[in-house]
Amino acid sequence: MSATRRLEYGVAILDVRKKHTRLLIVDAASGELVRQLERPSESLAGDLGPQLDVLGIEDWLHLRLASMPERARLIAVVPIAHGAAAVLLDRSGTVLAALDYDNPAFDEVADQYRALRDDFSATYSPFLNHGRNLGRQLYWLHARFPELMKRCHQILTYPQYWAWRLSGVAACEWTSLGCHTDLWLPSERKPSQLAINHGWAERLAPVRSASETLGALRSEWARLSGLDPACRVICGMHDASAGYLAPTHGRTPGKPFVSISSGNWTVVMAGGIDLTRLVEYRDMLANVDIAGQAVGTARFASGREYRVITGAEAAALPADEAALLPLLRSKAMAIPCFVNRGGAYAGRPGKLIGADALNAAGRVALASVYVALMTDLLLDWLDAKGDILLDGALCDNAIYIKALASLRPQQEVKRSDDRHAILYAGLHLAGYPVKRPMLRVTPAPAETVDALRDYRRMWRRQLPRISL
C-alpha cells in the first residue's frame, strides 16, 4: 500500500509472528497504513533442533527499511512478537539459542519439568505441549546442553530481542514474561520460583515497560537503513497482549471490556476478573496487560475446527445470515473437539449430530454457530463483563457476530472493520494513540434469538464432561 500524500512523520511496526513477519509503516498522526511488507517466518535446522530465523529476518528488515521512500521520516520503531520464545546471548552478544517452540524434543523432559513448575495458582500458566511453556525450553537446554547454559549471560524475551538488535539496550517486559512462560508471577510481578531456582531469573534482562523508549537506533542500523539516527526504539510487547491493548484508547478508564481476537485461534481476554475462575485443564490462563496486570484468558482452535466442520469445499464460502434460523430448526449440531491443538476439549473426539442432510451453506452455518457457542461458553467461564470487542477473521462472519450478539444481550458486541490491531497497539506504544473505530453488532430478530437460546441449552447438555 503506497502513501497518497507526503508522510510527515511515521512509525515502523515490526510484527514477528510464527508463520510470517510484517513491517508496517504508519502515519503517526492519522493512523493511516502507508506501507506493508511481509515475508514468511521460517525455522532453520541446527544442532539444538529448529531455530527461529533471526538472522534472515534481520537481513530482510535491513533491506526493506533501506528501500523505503519514507525511511528518513520514521521517528520510532516498535517490535511486537509472538510468545513462547526467547533468545539466549553470551557475554559478547552472540546468539546461543533462539528455539522454535514446536520442537517435539521438548516433550522428552515433560515429566521431570512438570514436577518443577510453580503451581498454576501462582503463575496462571497451564502445562502446554512441546515448548509452548518457555520454561520447558530452558529446562531442556539445562538438561541436554548444560555447557551451553553455563555460557548464557542474558535471556531476552522475543519482542525485546528485536528492540535490543535495533537499540543495543537489553530488556525483558511484562506481557512477554507473562504469556504462559512459567517464569513469571503476574499477581506479584516477579519471577517464579522455577526461574529463581534454576538461575534463569538473574539472567533475564531488566524488566521494562512495553511503551518505554530504550534508546535511539544503533549507529550501524541508522547507516545501513538510512533511518534518522535519532529514531526511537520502543521496548515492545507480546502480540496477544497487543491485540488486547488495541481497542482501549478512548474507553472509560476502569470500565471492564472483553477483547476477542480470531483466526486459527479465538482468544478471549478479560481484565479485572477473579483469577480463581481460571481452570488449567480447560486451557484457561492469564496473560498480562501493558500495566503488568493479569488478564483472564480462554481460547480454542476456532479456525481449524471451523474448517473441519464445514469441509474443505465449503470453508471459503461466506456465511449467509439467512441460513441461521433453518440450521437452528434442523437441530444439527457440532460437539467438540475437532482438532487436538488446545482448548478445553482437546483430545476428545468431535461429533456431528444430524449434519448429513446439510448443504454447503448449512455446514457453514453449523460451523459458525459452533464457534459462537464456544465463544459464549468461554465468556461464561471467565464471567467476563462489559463490551465485547471483536477482531480478526470472525468479524466478517455474519452468522457468528449475529449469534454472539444474540447470546449476550447483557453486553454490547462491537466489531472492527479492519485487520490492524497491531497497528493501533504499535502507535499507542510509540506515544501516538489513535482511536480504533468499532461497529456495533445488532442482535438477530426475536424469533431467531429464541431459537438460538433453545439450541444453546440443547448443545450444552451434549458437551463432554471434562475433569482432571
Grid look-up 531442556 returns: 140
Q: Which stretches in the chain have pLDDT values below 70?
A: 1-6, 248-253, 466-468
pLDDT given at position 73: 94
Cell numbers for 189, please give them: 510481578
| Backbone CA torsion sign across 258, 24, 94, 129 | positive
Grid look-up 509452548 returns: 132
Query: Count of CB atoms within 10 A of residue 354's CB?
Result: 11
pLDDT given at position 148: 97
Contacts of 361 (CB under 8 A, 6+ apart): 314, 317, 320, 323
Grid look-up 459452533 returns: 370
319: closest CA among 424, 403, 220? 403
DSSP label at 411? S
Domains delineated in the chain? 10-235 (3.30.420.40), 253-462 (3.30.420.40)
Cell numbers for 52, please give them: 527461529
Tens digit of each residue's pLDDT (9 = 90 or more) over 233-279: 999 999 999 999 977 655 666 789 999 999 889 999 999 999 999 99
Tens digit of each residue's pLDDT (9 = 90 or more) over 47-84: 999 999 999 999 999 999 999 999 999 999 999 999 99
Tell whether pTM > 0.75: yes
Cell numbers for 130, please give them: 512441546
pLDDT given at position 107: 97
DSSP label at 196? H
DSSP label at 408? -
